[in-house]
Amino acid sequence: MPSAPMDRLRERVRGQMVTPADAGYDEARRVYNAMIDRRPAVVVRCVDAADVMAAVDHARDHGMDLSVRGGSHSVPGFGTNDGGVVVDLSRMRGVRVDPLTHTARAEGGCTWGDFDHATHAFGLATTGGIVSSTGIGGLTLGGGIGYLARRFGLTVDNLESVDVVTAAGRQVVASDKSHEDLFWAVRGGGGNFGVVTSFEYQLHPVRDVVAGLFFYPVERAGDVLDFYRSYIDTAPEEMGAYPAFHLAPPLPFIPPEEHGRPFSVIIACWSGPADRAERALEPIRRAAPIVAEHVDTVPYPAMNTLFDELLPPGLQHYWKTAFATELTDGAIRAHLEYGPRVPAVNTAVHLYPINGACHRVPSDATAFAYRDARFATVIAGMWPDPADNAANTAWVRDYYRALEPHSTGGGYVNFMADDDQARVHDSYRDNYARLAAVKRAYDPDNLFHLNQNIPPAD
């Protein structure tokens, strides 16, 4: 009879356990952000909910830190820890599509690439991430912003039910009909409430989209932002478009002499009827003189791979974020000061719109509280060389500080940094007290604390 705790865990787990003694440990402990270098006691590569229950029980019973990892994209590195247990869901990636009900059930370790691939075969999609390697788990639980959000709402607005392994090590189904409070809390409350082993989503008919990339001189960024702030309020909801600052990547449609230079950019995804695409894109084309543009009809999953090559695992990441109800003149001035200094071709400054269908959901209907925000800005610092960490982190911080007076207090929890814990309360505003109460009911000892944490109510 095995007696050591790790042996008992091994007896219960059908997937793979990787400890520091095992070959492959360095690969198993690695996360997407190469700045994070932690050494958990065990990574449990779960294959089913039973494995997840075993790993949760082990962490709880032995007072160990517990991380949950799906796509591994957490910039603060919540998907790993020092000396604790990692529930790695990356082997749980099945997706079942029901074409009759237009729903899909996806296991907790799926990436958006997995999900889009599976649903696209049925001509169906839902709001998801714009990079295919991002996990559905973390992205959904924090809210979920993507090209289809203006039309179909946030990812959480498309959630029908979840299977959750709670801190007690038991799995429950949470939906509008059972564990309603838990279902409310996981729609925006992040990984605070348990391990979601599968998500059920509502799907919509979306097959091909028209992708538009518009590069304007960075000196005209003020015109572009001024155009965008009024345009996006009334643009058809089939238009998922956001302004950005980028260094021009070496793409064939961009003149070679412009590669590596800073640009004001609008990235557009038209999911409406193809014959209306040109007319819908026309105002964007006229926002300012165009240096380079590319418009093409692509399968929806391909749209969500646009940035993939720029964003391999192993980059350094430091991000900051802010919600804003208005894109004020002051905010535009801050963007004009820092946006043109975007430091690396991998770095992205994106101003995602929160409007349309996102605004039709009341702010207390799900945990995602900022239904009146109109812009979610992310300063996504990403670069390859650790030697640039100090300078690039300072650029992200300075940029954020300049935007802060023109922003609401809270931010989108999925874009927040590890030094943003003090902003969690503001990010949930009036929903915070209810979240803390749900936390007390489902995780009274705060086992799930490696996240933008909501401690249990007293």
Ligand X SMILES: Cc1cc2nc3c(=O)[nH]c(=O)nc-3n(C[C@H](O)[C@H](O)[C@H](O)COP(=O)(O)OP(=O)(O)OC[C@H]3O[C@@H](n4cnc5c(N)ncnc54)[C@H](O)[C@@H]3O)c2cc1C
Which one of 18, 28, 46, 72 is in contact with ligand X (CB under 6 A)? 72
CB 75 within 8 A of CB 119: no
Distance from the Cα of residue 399 to its chain's centroid: 21
Contact status: 84 vs ligand X (CB under 6 A): no
Which of 129/339 has CB closer to ligand X?
Answer: 129
Which one of 146, 188, 353, 411 is in contact with ligand X (CB under 6 A)? 146
Closest distance to ligand X from the beta carbon of 285 (Å): 24
Which of 216/242 has CB closer to ligand X?
Answer: 242
HSE of 406, CA atoms in CB hemisphere, 13 A:
19
Distance from the Cα of residue 155 to its chain's centroid: 10
Which of 120/220 has CB closer to ligand X?
Answer: 120
Query: Please, which of residues 413-442 interact with ligand X by CB under 6 A?
Result: 414-415
Which one of 84, 144, 240, 381 is in contact with ligand X (CB under 6 A)? 144
What whole-number distance in Å separates Cα of residue 313 and Cα of residue 81?
A: 18
Q: Which two tokens stand for residue 279?
A: 């007319």
What whole-number distance in Å separates Cα of residue 422 and Cα of residue 433?
A: 15
Contact status: 40 vs ligand X (CB under 6 A): no
Closest distance to ligand X from the beta carbon of 316 (Å): 12
Q: Which two tokens stand for residue 202?
A: 């509502």
Interface stretch with ligand X, choices 67-75, 205-213, 237-245, 431-439 (CB under 6 A):
67-75
Residue of 231, 246, 358 lying closest to 283 (CA atoms): 231
125: phi then psi, degrees, rounded to nearest 5? -160, 165
Closest distance to ligand X from the beta carbon of 342 (Å): 16
Print burial letters for 273-298: b (CB count within 10 Å at least 16), e (below 16): eeeebeebbeebeebbeebbbebeee
Distance from the Cα of residue 202 to its chain's centroid: 18
Outline where DSSP puts E strands in 99-194: 103-107, 124-125, 159-165, 171-175
Closest distance to ligand X from the beta carbon of 247 (Å): 16
| Residues that contact ligand X, how many (by CB under 6 A) | 35
Which one of 311, 322, 369, 424 is in contact with ligand X (CB under 6 A)? 311
Contact status: 74 vs ligand X (CB under 6 A): yes
Query: Please, which of residues 104-143 interact with ligand X by CB under 6 A?
Result: 108, 129-131, 134-135, 137-139, 141-142
Contact status: 15 vs ligand X (CB under 6 A): no
DSSP state, residue 176: S
Closest distance to ligand X from the beta carbon of 355 (Å): 15
Which of 70/339 has CB closer to ligand X?
Answer: 70
Start-to-end Cα distance in the chain: 41
62: phi then psi, degrees, rounded to nearest 5? -110, 15
Query: Please, which of residues 151-190 interact with ligand X by CB under 6 A?
Result: 190
What whole-number distance in Å separates Cα of residue 384 and Cα of residue 345?
A: 10
Closest distance to ligand X from the beta carbon of 220 (Å): 26
216 to 255: interface string for ligand X, x by CB under 6 A: ----------------------------------------
Which of 80/431 has CB closer to ligand X?
Answer: 80
Which of 7/37 has CB closer to ligand X?
Answer: 37
Contact status: 356 vs ligand X (CB under 6 A): no
Which of 224/416 has CB closer to ligand X?
Answer: 416
Closest distance to ligand X from the beta carbon of 210 (Å): 19
Closest distance to ligand X from the beta carbon of 73 (Å): 3
- Given the DSSP bridges, would you call strands 204-205 and 124-125 parallel, antiparallel or unpaired? antiparallel
CB 166 within 8 A of CB 443: yes
Which of 75/454 has CB closer to ligand X?
Answer: 75
Contact status: 68 vs ligand X (CB under 6 A): yes
206: phi then psi, degrees, rounded to nearest 5? -145, 120
Residue of 391, 452, 392 lying closest to 417 (CA atoms): 452
Task: Name the strand (E) or helix (H) holding 159.
Answer: strand 159-165
Which of 332/454 has CB closer to ligand X?
Answer: 454
Which one of 56, 124, 196, 331 is in contact with ligand X (CB under 6 A)? 196
Contact status: 191 vs ligand X (CB under 6 A): yes
Which of 71/212 has CB closer to ligand X?
Answer: 71
Q: Which two tokens stand for residue 239?
A: 């238009």
User: Which residue's entry shows tokens 């300072």?
Assistant: 394
Contact status: 350 vs ligand X (CB under 6 A): no
Contact status: 451 vs ligand X (CB under 6 A): yes
Residue of 96, 130, 87 lying closest to 111 (CA atoms): 130
Residue of 190, 238, 231 lying closest to 423 (CA atoms): 190
Residues that bind ligand X (CB under 6 A): 67-75, 78-79, 89, 108, 129-131, 134-135, 137-139, 141-142, 144-146, 190-191, 195-196, 311, 414-415, 450-451
